[in-house]
Chain A
Amino acid sequence: MRTKHYNQQLSAYVDQELNKEDRQVVAEHLMNCDECRREYHDVKLGAGLASHLEPTDAPENVWHEIEAELNGQRTPRLEAFSQRPWFDLRQIGAFATAIVVVGLLSFLVYRGLFTGGSSGTAPVQVHVNSEGQQQSVPASETAQEPGEIATTTAEQPVPADTNTTPAAETEGTFFPVETIAGRPTIGATAGGSKLAVGEYLETDAASRARIEIADIGKVEIAPNSRVKLVGTNVKQHRLSLERGGLHAKIAAPPRLFIVDTPSAAAVDLGCEYTLEVDKTGNSKLTVTSGFVALERGGRESIVPAGASCRTMKGKGLGTPFSSVVSPEFERALRSFDFSGGGSRAVKEMVDRAEYYDIITLWHLLPRVTRNDRPAVYEALAKFVAPPAGVTREGVLSLDNGMLEHWRTSVENAWARF
């Protein structure tokens, strides 16, 4: 079945010219269509550039000249206009050059030095279109997603500073390991099939492996990764991803499966997700179904399907963001989360916020300063109206009940994507 695209409506979408229903349809389509999303980012960039055009007052003398003309006097401007030469010196020079070039070409054609044209005409054609303009065909620009994972430097496993309680290491238990590609090593053994508590599973650039997590799911380990089985018991199964990446697919009650990284703990809330840790210990979580909580130091980010979240070693937990976030919005968010971007970054996000940034906006409410909070509130309320019982004052004063109530509405709106 052919997919209906909305690329002709992107400008109207960016310029807020669509009604609410159409806007919703386009927003939902953008969540799922890479092609339209690429175009959307171009159109949005174009609109952002065009908004730099500025209105300007006419110079004072224009009115004086109009007035003189109204009085029946010939104005300097019209005098100048009527005396405008057909060619100035540069143009005469250019014209002379053209004559010489055309003459030379004609001579060469006559002498048969050019043989390419079957009609016998000179192969040089000068075409000036009706507008005298040169138009270039736009090349689609793809937004570069940051977050490459470098996996070359070995580091010691550093359990995340989290309020989740690590399971006691349980001796004598293990997870079955299946080799998908290459020769993963477990401890000092290449090609092992059991990962015992306390042991490391390592993959090189050509290796991949799959770990069976008790009877609740599987975790696929990407190339160039190092993973430790921290512990496993009936209350909790816990891995530590020191570097590299893993993809987890878990069907279990919330908080039964946890992965530590050097900068946070990913707590499964019944989901499927990808977790990457770079050589500096920074991580990026991308959730494809369900929810994952990233936790560190008593702080928590709930990341739903379709969203990602970064953590930075030594700087803490980032704010979740949509997987289709614009590069500009994400840049401002990273500045806010990790570089002290403060009010400026908040303003940037508020100005650029789209429907799919609602998860970010909700998480920002308690994280921004009191002065910046009203702007974040307004930006979120524009997309998801606060439900009955949730007041502006309550949210601005961080009433926990109201925030949670609104969060349910935000998550429901998010889920409709």
Chain B
Amino acid sequence: MERLVLVTENRSNTDLLSECRNGSREAMRTLYLENQRRVYSIALNFFGGDSERASDVTQQVFLKLLKKMDFRGESEFNTWLYRMTVNQCIDESRKSKRFLNFEDWLGFAEPVTRMSLTDKLHTREISAEVQAVVASLKPKYRLPILLKYVEGMSYQEIAGVLHCSIGTVSSRLNRGHKLLATKLGHLRNDI
């Protein structure tokens, strides 16, 4: 009996990187498509839903990967990619501070909005509120939360990306969770 076999091309990131070094634009695009979501998601949530800055970060990370070929295989590709993303987010964050944001400085910036419970007709609205509050946390609490809950990484993997111990990851998540509970306690019944 003839059997139809569908072969799906499933190249690893390592294979793709090797092809990228040889200048394959198709491999670059595939590598981007395979990994863009994780980079953009971290950045988007890091900046509280600011898609412009998230796009900037995504572009910079992939240019370092594809143009400068910064990845040298000294760590796992995924760990390197997350590390690059985290560093780029922090750089972007510092860069914007160099622009002397007087609105923040003087307290003119728009406060985190607290939508009324009756307006929360959709979980997406809760997500937006959570995203805004997460973005207001210090990076040391924000990043473990993003790596854990956006990317679903284990504590060990997070420790690898952030260059710290599992205990540190645990205690920062502990603190981060409590800060979220304090700032978003009014959503207790909505989740």
Residues on A lying within 8 angstroms of B by beta carbon are 7-12, 14-15, 17, 39, 42-59, 61-63, 65-67, 69-70, 75, 77, 81, 84, 86-87, 90-91, 94-95, 97-98, 126, 128, 131-136, 138-139, 141, 327, 331
Minimum Cβ distance to chain B for residue A130 (Å): 9
Q: Mark B78-116, 1 if CB is under 8 A from A, else 0.
A: 000000000000000100010111111110100000000
Instruction: Evaluate contact between A43 and B59: CB separation under 8 angstroms.
Output: no
Interface size class of B (residues with CB under 8 A): 35 or more
Given that A12-B170, A62-B40 are contacting pairs, would A131 and B139 also be in contact in the complex, using a CB cutoff of 8 Å? yes
Evaluate whether A46 and B177 lie within 8 angstroms (CB atoms) in the complex, with A59-B51, A69-B67, A86-B100 already known.
Answer: yes
Q: Which chain B positions have C-beta within 8 A of A15?
A: 148, 155, 173
Query: Told that A39-B178, A47-B177, A52-B123 touch, could you supply 14 new A-B pairs with CB distance under 8 A?
Result: A10-B174, A11-B174, A43-B181, A45-B181, A46-B178, A49-B126, A50-B145, A53-B45, A53-B131, A54-B127, A70-B25, A87-B102, A135-B138, A136-B182
Instruction: Tell whether, in the assembled complex, residue B51 and residue A126 are in contact, meaning their CB atoms are under 8 Å apart.
Output: no
**What's the Cα separation between A69 and B59 when bound, in Å?**
9
A-B interface contact total, Cβ < 8 Å: 187
| Option from B36, B131, B178, B179 in Cβ contact (under 8 Å) with A62 | B36
Residues of chain B lying within 8 A (CB to CB) of residue A133: 136-138
> In the complex, what residue of chain B is closest to A86 when comparing beta carbons?
B99
Q: Which residues of B are found within 8 Å of A134, using beta-carbon distances?
A: 136
Chain A, Cβ-Cβ closest to B97: A132
The residue that A58 contacts in the complex, of B55, B187, B189, with Cβ under 8 A, is: B55
**Pairwise interchain contact A46-B149, C-beta atoms closer than 8 A:** no
> Across the interface, do B58 and A58 meet the contact criterion of CB distance under 8 Å?
yes
Indicate if B184 sits at the interface (CB-CB under 8 A): yes
In the complex, are the beta carbons of A55 and B178 less than 8 A apart? no
How many Å from the CB of B130 to the closest CB on chain A? 5
Name B54's closest neighbour in chain A (CB-CB).
Answer: A58
Whether, in the assembled complex, B75 has its beta carbon less than 8 Å from a beta carbon of chain A, the answer is no
A170 to chain B: closest CB distance in Å? 50
Whole-angstrom distance between the alpha carbons of A59 and B45 in the complex?
15
- By the criterion CB–CB under 8 Å, are B180 and A49 in contact? yes
Kindly state the separation between the CA atoms of A51 and B146 in the bound complex, as whole angstroms: 9
**Residue from B62, B66, B155, B181 in contact with A12 in the complex, judged by beta carbons closer than 8 Å:** B155
The residue that B39 contacts in the complex, of A47, A58, A84, A97, with Cβ under 8 A, is A58
CA distance A15 to B59 in the complex (A): 32
B: which residues have CB within 8 A of A? 25, 28-29, 32-33, 36-41, 44-45, 51, 54-56, 58-59, 62-63, 66-67, 93, 97, 99-106, 108, 123, 126-127, 130-131, 134, 136-139, 145-146, 148-151, 154-155, 167, 170-171, 173-174, 176-185, 187-189, 191
Cβ of B8 to closest chain A Cβ, rounded Å: 20
Given A53-B127, A55-B151, A135-B138, verify A43-B178 contact (CB < 8 Å): yes
- Closest B-chain residue to A90, C-beta based? B103
Question: Among B44, B103, B148, B181, which residue has its beta carbon within 8 angstroms of that of A138?
Answer: B181
Q: Are B40 and A57 in contact (CB under 8 A)?
A: yes
Contacts of A47 in B (CB 8 A): 149, 177
Query: How far is the CB of B20 from the nearest CB of chain A, in Å?
Result: 10
- Given A45-B180, A62-B36, check contact A54 B154 (CB 8 Å): no
Contact (A55, B102) CB under 8 Å given A12-B155, A141-B185: no
Chain B nearest Cβ from A279, distance in angstroms: 25
Determine how close the nearest CB of chain A comes to the CB of B172; give it in whole angstroms.
8
Instruction: Give CA–CA (A62, B37) in the complex, Å.
Output: 11
CA distance A91 to B100 in the complex (A): 9
Structural contact, A53 and B134, CB atoms closer than 8 A: yes
Residues of chain A within 8 A (CB-CB) of B38 are 55
What is the minimal beta-carbon distance from B160 to any residue of chain A, in angstroms?
14
Q: How far is the CB of A36 from chain B (nearest CB, A)?
A: 12
On chain A, the residues within 8 Å of B104 by CB distance are 128, 132
Assess whether B149 is in contact with A97, with CB atoms less than 8 Å apart: no
> What residues on A are CB-neighbors of B33 within 8 Å?
63
A375 to chain B, nearest CB (A): 20
Partner of B56, one of A42, A54, A69, A81: A81
A48 cross-chain contacts in B, Cβ below 8 A: 191
Distance (whole angstroms) from the CB of A83 to the closest CB of chain B: 13
**Cβ contacts A to B, 19 pairs, < 8 Å:** A7-B174, A11-B174, A42-B178, A42-B182, A43-B178, A45-B184, A45-B185, A46-B181, A50-B134, A51-B149, A53-B149, A63-B29, A90-B108, A94-B103, A94-B108, A95-B100, A126-B105, A136-B183, A331-B189
